Amino acid sequence: MAISSTRIIKITEEVIKLSFFNYFLGREEVDTKHAILAKFFPNESVIGSAITGLSTSLGSFWEKIAVKLAIENNFTVLNPKEDFLQPNFIPSEIFTIISNNHQKRMAPNANVSFSVYQNDLDTEIKKIRLPNNIVFKTLEKGSGIDLLLQKNNNLYAYDLKTVQINASGGALYSERLMKWYAYDAISQKVHNKKYKFHPHIVIPYDPHTHGNWWDNFQGRVYPLDKTDLKLCNDFWDFLTDTQNSFQFIETAIENLVKSGLPKIYHPSLYKADAIRSFEILKNTCNIAPIDSDISPSSFVEKIEWKCLGCSLKFKQSIRWFERNTVCPRCNGKFLT
């Protein structure tokens, strides 16, 4: 069932607000300084450090919103580290098929579809005899799955990447998808299961105002094509069953800008201390300090608060709110 534009917007807003809140609340000054930049541009260096940290923290934003939307659309969200494993033994015949197809796909202008490899491997896996002692382990580091979904006897595996692809990205990701497909084929045969497996690389948004992502990066992601790699709406529309769904994600971002959310966190780019976190709590949560003039000197100093939902008065530190997100009496969410 299609997810409404209203729900897409609301889910996106909630994920963004929580992401910013979790990053900035209780944030302390970084002890380490860049040897040159901290001397040349001290103020800008502080901001740069905060932005870099925030960018890293938001790296999983697209994954988080994808999970929320998938659940909303009745997908089952699986744990990639537990529910998708690689065998400790891969027959030489399978390795040969992976290698041969990888070479075919990498040939300039060959444009060999991933389905050619799938057909070759499916044919081989049917006739091959697998040892009885195959065990499965977590995917090797650096080749893991970000999002694993299940629906209607289909398993979907996604690796969400940044919009900037390195020159060798296509070859790396193509081989990764082939290995995932081989791992799953072996697993299905060993465990006597039968379902369709769909591995994909995802670019969650297109940053280009003019032209599009494929115009700029098609050479770098070769031999991947639009079947292997899902760009922006190709991915979000599938998750939501709603056309041009990314526009509603953009609307959510614009709504938060208009609501003044960036202004709440802007001071924390320049300085990270208890006072800044105290202001964040006052401006984003459904609580109010009993003494509005208080200026906490540390993150562990106890402050007396009032829940604006049920009027409960309680005394807790800023650190307490990092672990507790609802009122102890009415169970109302603090973050609004």
Give the least confident one: 55-69, 74-88, 112-126, 184-198: 55-69
Tokens representing residue 2 in the block: 């299609």
Across the range 165-193, mean pLDDT stands at: 95
Inform me whether the pLDDT recorded for 59 exceeds 80: no
Q: Do residues 300 and 199 both lie within one domain?
A: no
Provide the mean pLDDT of the chain: 93
Confidence (pLDDT) at 38? 80
270 or 187, greater pLDDT? 187
Inform me whether the pLDDT recorded for 34 exceeds 80: no
Q: Do residues 122 and 221 both lie within one domain?
A: yes
Inform me whether the pLDDT recorded for 83 exceeds 80: yes
Across the range 257-262, mean pLDDT stands at: 96
Q: Do residues 255 and 153 both lie within one domain?
A: no
Confidence (pLDDT) at 36? 87
- Which percentage of the chain shows pLDDT scores above 90? 80
Total number of domains constituting the chain: 3
Q: Do residues 247 and 332 both lie within one domain?
A: no
The answer to whether position 171 is within a domain reads yes
**CB burial string 235-254: b at 16+ within 10 A, e below:** bbbbbbebeebbebbeebee
Across the range 41-45, mean pLDDT stands at: 81
Over residues 229-245, the pLDDT tens digits come to: 999 999 999 999 999 99
Inform me whether the pLDDT recorded for 31 exceeds 80: no
Inform me whether the pLDDT recorded for 222 exceeds 90: yes
Q: Do residues 267 and 286 both lie within one domain?
A: no
Report the distance separating Cα 195 and Cα 334, nearest Å: 42
CB 178 within 8 A of CB 157: no
The answer to whether position 68 is within a domain reads no
Q: Do residues 191 and 228 both lie within one domain?
A: yes
Across the range 276-298, mean pLDDT stands at: 95
Tokens representing residue 122 in the block: 């499916």
The answer to whether position 90 is within a domain reads yes
pLDDT tier for residue 285 given thresholds of 50, 70 and 90: very high
Confidence (pLDDT) at 7? 98
Inform me whether the pLDDT recorded for 210 exceeds 80: no
Return the biggest CA–CA distance within the chain: 76
Q: Do residues 38 and 99 both lie within one domain?
A: no
pLDDT tier for residue 32 given thresholds of 50, 70 and 90: low
Q: Do residues 171 and 232 both lie within one domain?
A: yes
Residue 315 belongs to domain spanning: 274-336
Across the range 128-134, mean pLDDT stands at: 90
Confidence (pLDDT) at 58? 72
Q: Do residues 140 and 254 both lie within one domain?
A: no
**CB burial string 275-297: b at 16+ within 10 A, e below:** bbbbebbeebbbbeeeeeeeebe
Q: Do residues 195 and 109 both lie within one domain?
A: yes
Q: Do residues 220 and 308 both lie within one domain?
A: no
The answer to whether position 255 is within a domain reads yes
Across the range 25-48, mean pLDDT stands at: 81
